Amino acid sequence: MPSGLPIFFRFIFGIFGVIGLTVIISMWSAPFNEFGSPPLFFRIFASLIGLAFIAFGFGVAFSKSGNHPGATLSKFSQTLRQTGSPKKYKCPHCSGGIENQEVSPSGDVKCEYCGKWYNVHT
């Protein structure tokens, strides 16, 4: 599985960046001191919001790492999905295996047999 976002999600986040760019251009291209032109406060406020959209949208769309908002699987879950062996880790208290257990991002899991918590990354 390649790291990073699929192209569809990169496109969606890229749209966020384009929206931010459009807001900034539309705010500052309007003439000053005419009827219907936005006041300076609104131009600055909208520009700050537009910059946030640009930073978030283009930052996620062009990121190279797999650490993005959609990456919620822990290393353990990815290992399980790739290897397909759910009994790779055993509970240190009762030696029970993990079957369809959710693992927290930090690697903590609750044994379904004895009910005690342990970490699979240690």
CA–CA separation, 26 vs 43, rounded Å?
A: 9
Every domain of the chain and the residues it spans: 7-61, 73-122
Does the pLDDT of residue 26 top 90, yes or no?
yes
Does the pLDDT of residue 36 top 80, yes or no?
yes
- Percent of the residues in the chain that have a pLDDT greater than 70, as a whole number: 70
Q: Which of 68, 70, 50 is nearest to 59 (CA)?
A: 68
Q: In this predicted model, what pLDDT tens digit does every residue of 38-82 receive, in sequence order? A: 999 999 999 999 999 999 888 888 876 555 444 444 454 555 555
